[in-house]
Structure 1
């Protein structure tokens, strides 16, 4: 929360459990925050990554690019948990059928 008590526009935090890192992202992931999301994942050494985007309210092409980069870095080891908004953007972009996108 900021000084006015409003929720931050963007936040990303990492939780590690052995070789698994879970990054929880909230708010808007756009041109100004997508790299911060990416770097939060890459800062932690991991063999498996869960990117929890269930609290993301806005997701643009820079965010898509960051997720695609993660899918290339962690082939068969990335799971993305999307919000309704994120799922819709990925559907529109043709990425809804990717194995890293959680069906639920």
Structure 2
């Protein structure tokens, strides 16, 4: 994290297509970046979201909370594509069976 509070190992790039947003997240999602992930996934006018977390290297409880908030915001319309690290955290947290989780095949 730099002196301005921004984590140089994190990015969340979103692209809106109609009422769908896709967010590609890289780096570490933690208490300093989880809110930025949530904001990137909640632009006005969208009703479904895809989170591509395949390049996430660290995922903590704040990140889990952000994803749960997104699942509440987009019931039945959220897809999360995890990295192996994210998948492991979600498994430990008891969330591996959620319908929004799309583990790699």
Would the TM-score normalized by the shorter structure come out above 0.5?
yes
RMSD: 0.9
CA distance, structure 2, for counterparts of residue 49 and residue 42 of structure 1: 8
Give the corresponding residue for 1:23.
23
Q: How many residues are aligned here?
A: 97
CA distance, structure 1, for counterparts of residue 54 and residue 44 of structure 2: 21
Unaligned runs of 5+ in 1: 1-7
**Alignment partner of 1:90 is 2:90:** yes
CA distance, structure 2, for counterparts of residue 45 and residue 89 of structure 1: 31
Correspondence 1:50-61 to 2 at 5 A = 50-61=50-61
CA distance, structure 1, for counterparts of residue 39 and residue 48 of structure 2: 15
CA distance, structure 1, for counterparts of residue 73 and residue 23 of structure 2: 15
Unaligned runs of 5+ in 2: 1-7
Give the corresponding residue for 2:12.
12
1:33-77, CA deviations, whole angstroms, 9 ceiling, x for partnerless residues?
Answer: 000000111124211100110000000000000000000010000
Give the corresponding residue for 1:47.
47
CA separation of 1:30/1:91 partners in 2, compared to 1, >3 Å: closer, same or farther?
Answer: same
Contact 1:21 1:44 in 2 (8 A): no
